[in-house]
Amino acid sequence: MILTIRPEHPEDIPAIREVIKVAFKAVPHSENNEHLIVDALRDDDALTITRVAEEEDKIVGYIAVSPVTLSNGESGWYGIGPLAVSPTAQSRGLGSKLMQSALLWLRENAKGCVLLGEPEFYSQFGFKVTDGLILHGAPPEYFMALSFNHHYPRADITYHPSFYPSS
């Protein structure tokens, strides 16, 4: 099967929604609103980069990157997520390829990035739990960061407002 990793196109949007929905359906602690967050980010022009994984003209994976705010005023940091691969396409390296493609862009354009996820999966890309970066309301052992200049700021992180739909 030929795999293409590329930025999203407007005509991909319905398939992207479906992939995110189906991927997060069985995830514990998910509020199953990740597709709505992506829609809201897109509506607000806050999707810094996106990548879809396409196999045989079918979208089977997706990753989004959006800006985050640091309480110390430092700029150049981004949040990764959601990352989603259709259950039928999982465990074949697509999630890793989407992440590597996002990181390729981020290494060239960002100071660092953060995400909320399973350390077991994300540590392979260099993400680590740090003392200094805090996401209020999130379990600290799942909030991870990757700096591209070895400097990890001490700051509270706020994602784009699209991640806080009820506030």
Ligand X SMILES: CC(C)(COP(=O)(O)OP(=O)(O)OC[C@H]1O[C@@H](n2cnc3c(N)ncnc32)[C@H](O)[C@@H]1OP(=O)(O)O)[C@@H](O)C(=O)NCCC(=O)NCCS
Plot region of 7 (φ>0 → left; ψ -120 to 50 → alpha; else → beta): beta
92 touches ligand X (CB under 6 A): yes
- Determine the interface stretch with ligand X among 67-75, 77-85, 104-112, 146-154 (rule: CB under 6 A): 77-85
- Determine the interface stretch with ligand X among 36-44, 82-90, 101-109, 145-153 (rule: CB under 6 A): 82-90
Cβ proximity to ligand X, 75 vs 94, nearer residue: 94
Cα distances from 51 to residues 6, 37, 93, 142, 158, in angstroms, run: 5, 16, 15, 23, 23
94 touches ligand X (CB under 6 A): yes
CA 135, CA 114: separation in Å to the nearest integer?
10
93 touches ligand X (CB under 6 A): yes
Q: x-or-dash pattern for ligand X, window 11-40, by CB under 6 A?
A: ------------xx--x-------------
Exactly one of 108, 120, 131, 141 binds ligand X (CB under 6 A); that residue is 120
**Does residue 134 contact residue 156 with C-beta atoms inside 8 Å?**
yes
> Minimum CB separation from ligand X for residue 73, in Å?
27
CA 8, CA 59: separation in Å to the nearest integer?
10
CA 56, CA 121: separation in Å to the nearest integer?
27
The number of angstroms, rounded, from the C-alpha of 33 to the middle of its chain's C-alpha atoms is 14
Q: Which residues bind ligand X (CB under 6 A)?
A: 23-24, 27, 81-85, 90-96, 117-118, 120-121
